[in-house]
Amino acid sequence: MRLILLGPPGAGKGTQAKMLQEKYSIPQISTGDILRQAVKNQTKLGKESESYMNQGKLVPDSLIMELINERIQKPDCQKGMIMDGFPRTIEQAKELDKLLNKKEIKLNHVLEIVLPEDEVVLRLSGRRTCKNCGNMFHIKFKPPKKDGLCDSCGGELYQRKDDQEETIINRLKVYTDQTAPLTKYFKKQNLLRSISGFGSLDEVFNKIIKTIEKSA
């Protein structure tokens, strides 16, 4: 199964992708996670991407496509994949179509998690991420057991630069201008299904599963 998760930053794509990864035993491909790792390791890709990310801007399509091309060739993607945070522009979606056509494989589902802007700001501004393992918490909705420390590995929690309020506003604008048009693009291909991002993690997860299984 090849699935794309669409939706604004903070809609819960990453968490849901991890839950889907467990259920279907196919890898989550998060371009955001791959880029953050590259920044942490100060690789060429990381150095080229860092300033775009810190400003909440999109990393250029050419860098993203290079990264995706390499990632989807790996053997764990044979059975399928869950794309989270990719594609983010029409250009990326077109390039992905070309890559998949070449491999003679098709996308099965595009799921849009819908969430209004004020809820996005609330969720992202309170989000804290583990420096060590990337696990996410929320100061109000999912506080860690020990202040400032990750429940899973004890790593230090921090606020991502792009989760600070001015950058969130920028990321939302970028989403509306560049990523939201993808809903039309995938609707035309009859792949798009939309669900509400409100509710508990399990409620949203169950809605996703139902939607996938209904349109299988």
| CB closer to ligand AMP, 9 vs 197 | 9
Site mask for ligand AMP (CB under 6 A), range 118-137, x = bound: --------------------
Q: How far is the CB of 204 from ligand AMP (least distance, A)?
A: 17
Strands 81-84 and 109-114, bridge-based pairing: unpaired
Interaction between residue 144 and ligand AMP (CB under 6 A): no
204 is in an annotated binding site: no
**Cβ contact 20:3 at 8 Å:** yes
Interaction between residue 8 and ligand AMP (CB under 6 A): no
In this chain, which of 162, 193, 197, 207 binds ligand AMP, going by CB under 6 A?
162
Query: Which 74-93 residues touch ligand AMP, going by CB under 6 A?
Result: 85-88, 92
Catalytic-residue membership of 214: no
d(CA 180, CA 205): 22
CA dist 48 → 53, 54, 114, 152, 162 (Å): 10, 12, 31, 31, 16
φ and ψ of 166, to 5 deg: -65, -35
| CB closer to ligand AMP, 12 vs 32 | 32
In this chain, which of 6, 35, 45, 107 binds ligand AMP, going by CB under 6 A?
35
Q: How far is the CB of 213 from ligand AMP (least distance, A)?
A: 26
Cα Rg of the chain (Å, integer): 17
d(CA 86, CA 93): 8
Catalytic-residue membership of 2: no
By CB under 6 A, the count of residues binding ligand AMP is 18
CA dist 80 → 1, 9, 21, 72 (Å): 5, 24, 10, 9
Closest-CA residue to 165 (of 6, 10, 1, 7): 10
Interaction between residue 67 and ligand AMP (CB under 6 A): no
**Cβ contact 208:110 at 8 Å:** no
Selected range binding ligand AMP among 31-39, 149-157, 182-190, 200-208, rule: CB under 6 A: 31-39
Provide the annotated active-site residues.
13, 88, 127, 160, 171
Contacting residues toward ligand AMP, per CB under 6 A: 9, 31-32, 35, 52-53, 56-59, 64, 85-88, 92, 162, 171
